[in-house]
Structure 1
Amino acid sequence: MANEVWTVDFKGWWHTRDGERCEPLTVRDEHTRYLLDIRAVESARTETIRMCFERIFRIYGLPEAIRSDNGPPFASNRSILGLTRLSAWWVALGIDLERGRPGKPQDNGGHERMHLDISNELQSCADADARAQQAAFDIWRKTFNEERPHESLGMAFPAEVYAKSPRAYLDSPADIDYPGMLRRKVHRTGVIGVDGIQIRLSTAFAGWSVGLQPIDPDRFEVYFAKLRIGTIELSSASFTGVASHPGETVCKPQQNYS
């Protein structure tokens, strides 16, 4: 189904003819092959990529899941469940996360095949400057969506089978509610306070609230949106995050607490 999974990646960079670095971000609907965006971004910083996704979400709505690789800004091998500020925002919006296995580009094979076309048809003949290159991207995207039939679609064009998501994006939520749980706001340093004790979680959750579900007088299960992210033990002032294993591909809600 359309919007069940979107795939995202960076194509890899090249120089325009005036020497400017060009690194396109590509976002694609997996089922219909519809290319939602190809954008020459100024950087891979969270703020830059979030702005790109805000624009895409406003046009097309929200997908059920987003699949990425395990690199920044989409994921971090040093964070709880690989969450970053960007992917934590996706979770807060109710989007599930899928990740390919490290070193296995075939897990996102259709996206990689599209990148090969971009290499052959765009990178091989770089444009004069960034503005011209983006104009070329826009034309190529229109051609890809509206003029190239796909065998997997019964030789239909992606634009013939894609439809916007019914899950409209109005704005980012101010915070997250946790019915029946204690709620604590995560400081910009990644720390929360519980009974006067400072507990470090992750800066991926900075600015958001987490939910605390008591297990016993000394321990709490910790939730971010509908993800259980770990356990707090007050007596040792410690937090133990949920283990994330190499090759883990899906980061979905582990419990519906509402």
Structure 2
Amino acid sequence: MPIEYQDVVRTGVARQVADKIRAAILDGRLKIDERLPTEEELARSFGISRPTVREALKRLAAQNLVRSQRGPSGGTFVSRPDPEGLSSAITGAATLLVGVGAFDIDEIIGARLETEAICCRLACERRSDADLKAMRAEVALQRSTTPTDEEFCASDVRFHRSLVKAAGNGPLSLMMYTVVEAFMPITNMIVSQVRERKKVADFHQRLADAIEARDAAGATSVLSELLAYLRDSYAVSLKRLAEREAKRAARG
């Protein structure tokens, strides 16, 4: 199949135009809800075709940076950046990197310890009754006998999501989105068969207690113990997997 070189060039230009508009949005030159020039005006300003402008606007819309409105007062408008949408894109990339082995468990544990420790300290200062209630609800679910492995892992993620929320810091929440939504599910999937649910629930109980007592040193100490247990469980899980693979190879 022949390569369409024109499409490659056009896509490259569209990306550059999208990057220029994105930079103007992020540095404040284009304000939230400001209407962009028309496609024809943008094409003339950049010296490109309208289809290329359209491709650039599609890229920005996919990043939730612009939106289109129809009607007499319609057009393309600057959207307020959606932290969850932006962080979801980062999480997708992080999940892929972990899946191909770009990060090892020590790096992941180290990143969690350093960043989540900050959340623990802030949560001790800022937590609300609703935050504590959300954490304790997950502990109660984890102590019950009904959750499946998938449900227990999901509860684990929700507990730490609640802890991050209790810190009450928007930029930190954005940073932690990758840790909670990408790193935790992958490691949970690997250790779910070897870690003890009671131990995990106990760690979470102690974390919630420390945060309620506004004991930042105690909370970060419990977090360190929890993550050390996770690292050990990960090692046990990988060892068992290697043993199963060796037995399978020996039989084959």
The structure with the largest strand share of the pair is 1
Task: State the TM-score, normalized to the length of structure 2.
Answer: 0.26
TM-score (norm 1): 0.25
Would you tell me which structure has more helix in proportion to its own residues?
2
**Which of 1 and 2 has greater Rg?**
2
